[in-house]
Amino acid sequence: MTSIDNLLHEDRRFPPGPEFAAAAIAQPRLYEEAASDRLAFWADQSRRLLHWNEPFTEVLDWSAAPVAKWFGDGKLNVAYNCLDRHVLAGHGDRVAYHWEGEPGDARTVTYAELTSEVKKAANALAALGVGQGDRVAIYLPNIPEAVVAMLAVARLGAIHSVVFGGFSAESLRARIDDAQARLVITADGGWRKGKVFPLKPTVDAAVAGESPVEHVLVVRRGENEVEWTDKDLWWHDVVDAASNEHEAEAFEAENPLFILYTSGTTGKPKGILHTSGGYLTQVAFTHENVFDLHPETDVFWCTADVGWITGHSYAVYGPLANGATSVMYEGTPDTPHPGRWWELIEKYKVSIFYTAPTAIRSFMKLGGAIPAKFDLTSLRVLGSVGEPINPEAWVWYRDIIGGGKTPIVDTWWQTETGAIMVSALPGITTLKPGSAQVPVPGISIAIVDDDGTPVGKDEGGLLVITEPWPAMLRGIWGDMDRYAETYWSKFADQGYYFAGDGARYDRDGDIWLMGRVDDVMNVSGHRLSTAEIESALVGHAAVAEAAVVGAHDETTGQAVVAFVILRSEYAELEDASTELRAHVATAIGAIARPRELYVVAELPKTRSGKIMRRLLQDIAEGRDIGDTTTLADTSVMSIISDKYAASP
């Protein structure tokens, strides 16, 4: 509701400053070129941005839709594009990463050093039997070795599957098994909230017993004690000893680059598959144009962990393909003090900063006095991603962090799209707080009604992508039927990709995102599935039935709220809420732990037995529950809402 109200009343406009526009990378002709010949546009961008060992002649092959081939007859090496060519062009001394650990230890990694490390790691992985097409799971803190590992895998034409370090052993095992990974790269532990957070025991549990994993490569970071198994090898033993000479082989443009798991509407996460040439083209193009990247002078900081798609595309592949200098930070934003991020911006003179609305809102709560203690004048472009940014947070971000002068780009995209799809371009677009605004040049977006008919200005509907795009997913690992069904069946007649988001055009035709229309929640910009959490809950011996909803939360956007019915034998279970919330964290990961969990006697169901999540969401958000006439038993609702009202 709030976003619709904002949409109707938001009339602040921020046109580009003339000085910014004069030096801007993105030029209005990009829109014209893309509109006149979309495929030629992407071909030009790809040739300009990447090194092709074998040039492509065909741009798009959509004959096997919905699986696209982009630049299909070309060959390239992704790691070479991110590393060697910058060194060969004389930029070896340029900093690739200013890395900072949570305790304050720091490392500066130049392009020459990163290239050398990746070559060593590639040799070490090859010696362990990793080759083209093999899957390697990466479960690491946000440290340079995570980047080295990803690029070494890419260099060999193998496929990485990075699993965010907050996921549980069970989640890690499911991902390892689904991809049949033969190697895991992890660390003893990493720093989080002032402590070492152990990772190795989680990997031990995830690969114990029957597992496709042959070796576990362990980076020393936390220096915590670890148990050793016969699968284990220290990273510093095998990588440091390897040769730093390694020639990158060229692979086909469609050679798979990575799998990244994301939550869907069922209990089983989807392994989103991305490939090489098209992905790298679009991440490089958007990183350059959406953020106005001047690689010689800018310092770019994307705060996402490499375990998420934002980290893949804008902390690793985009910046490295463009030869940019990035900041990478291991820890939490408020450790050891709440100004840590601003301190890092001052220290490294960050000029482009990309983060999520949930972070901005939590800083807003702490107040402007904290960032005011730091010199943030190096900032010239700010970005937002992960969920809609409310206009109040947008304006605070611009005024307090951006000194009232920086453009803000609100970028809409998904794990599946691989790269930014909807965003303003700084220097061109007149900005409007709260709106993601316009498709990126070369990207075709529409908002349509349930039948696929485009809606007009001032109307809402579903966001669809009407033409294939270079960084699009190429499938769901091991389940191409689910791929076709999830994304392409709703608008099969039109051939549109269904994103799962509701959206509106305002009266100027700008796009506003309105949130998911499926059973996917967005908590702190991370995607969680109601079904996955429900299935974790019913996996507990005490739980007979569970229903999970995403309730509005002022800071995290949405929060997980669970309603459970206990089995009669467990009716007297003490502290059920604490126990079951902890159970979800163990089963999936701490990010999925419900904010609240209520034990109820019944769940509201339709006469056909479907749980009415909308009603539960109304209750969780404190709304009047309204019309319940389709409910099988209306007394259920009053019982639940009484219980909810009585809770702390």
User: Could you tell me which residues are annotated as the binding site for Mg(2+)?
Assistant: 538, 540, 543
Q: Does 530 bind ligand WT7 (CB under 6 A)?
A: no
Site for ligand WT7 (CB under 6 A): which residue of 527, 540, 583, 613? 527
- Shortest approach of ligand WT7 to residue 525 CB, angstroms? 6
DSSP code per residue over 579-612: HHHHHHHHHTBGGG--SEEEE-S---BBTTS-B-
Q: Does 414 bind ligand WT7 (CB under 6 A)?
A: yes
Q: Does 309 bind ligand WT7 (CB under 6 A)?
A: yes
> Which residues have C-beta within 8 Å of that of residue 163, sequence separation ≥ 6?
137, 138, 139, 171, 172, 175, 176, 261, 307
Q: Does 617 bind ligand WT7 (CB under 6 A)?
A: no
How far apart CA 316 and CA 295 sit, in angstroms, is: 14
Q: Does 429 bind ligand WT7 (CB under 6 A)?
A: no
Site for ligand WT7 (CB under 6 A): which residue of 202, 310, 390, 641? 310
**Is there a contact between 464 and 445 (Cβ–Cβ < 8 Å)?**
yes
How far apart CA 77 and CA 57 sit, in angstroms, is: 17
> Which residues have C-beta within 8 Å of that of residue 495, sequence separation ≥ 6?
65, 466, 488
Q: Does 499 bind ligand WT7 (CB under 6 A)?
A: yes
Collapse the DSSP code of 166 into the 3-class scheme (helix H, G, I; strand E, B; otherwise coil) and give the result. Answer: coil
- Shortest approach of ligand WT7 to residue 476 CB, angstroms? 13
- Shortest approach of ligand WT7 to residue 313 CB, angstroms? 8
163-182 footprint of ligand WT7 as x/- string (CB under 6 A):
--------------------
Rounded to 5°, angle at Cα 273 from 265 and 411:
75
Site for ligand WT7 (CB under 6 A): which residue of 171, 255, 411, 556? 411
CA-nearest of 552, 546, 603 to 580 is 546
**Is there a contact between 328 and 100 (Cβ–Cβ < 8 Å)?**
yes
Collapse the DSSP code of 406 into the 3-class scheme (helix H, G, I; strand E, B; otherwise coil) and give the result. Answer: coil
Residues contributing to the annotated binding site: 192-195, 310, 386-388, 410-415, 501, 516, 524, 527, 538, 540, 543
- Shortest approach of ligand WT7 to residue 512 CB, angstroms? 9
Residues 102-141 that bind ligand WT7 (CB under 6 A): none
**56 or 496: whose CB is closer to ligand WT7?**
496
Q: Does 501 bind ligand WT7 (CB under 6 A)?
A: yes
**217 or 472: whose CB is closer to ligand WT7?**
472
**Is there a contact between 143 and 114 (Cβ–Cβ < 8 Å)?**
no
**Is there a contact between 389 and 357 (Cβ–Cβ < 8 Å)?**
yes
Collapse the DSSP code of 145 into the 3-class scheme (helix H, G, I; strand E, B; otherwise coil) and give the result. Answer: helix
Other Cβ atoms closer than 10 A to 433: 22
Q: Does 305 bind ligand WT7 (CB under 6 A)?
A: no
**174 or 436: whose CB is closer to ligand WT7?**
436
- Shortest approach of ligand WT7 to residue 307 CB, angstroms? 11
How far apart CA 554 and CA 35 sit, in angstroms, is: 39
Residues contributing to the annotated binding site for ATP: 386-388, 410-415, 501, 516, 527
Q: Does 161 bind ligand WT7 (CB under 6 A)?
A: no
Residues contributing to the annotated binding site for CoA: 192-195, 310, 524
Chain residues in the site for ligand WT7 (CB under 6 A):
262, 309-310, 385-388, 410-415, 436, 499-501, 513, 516, 522, 525-527
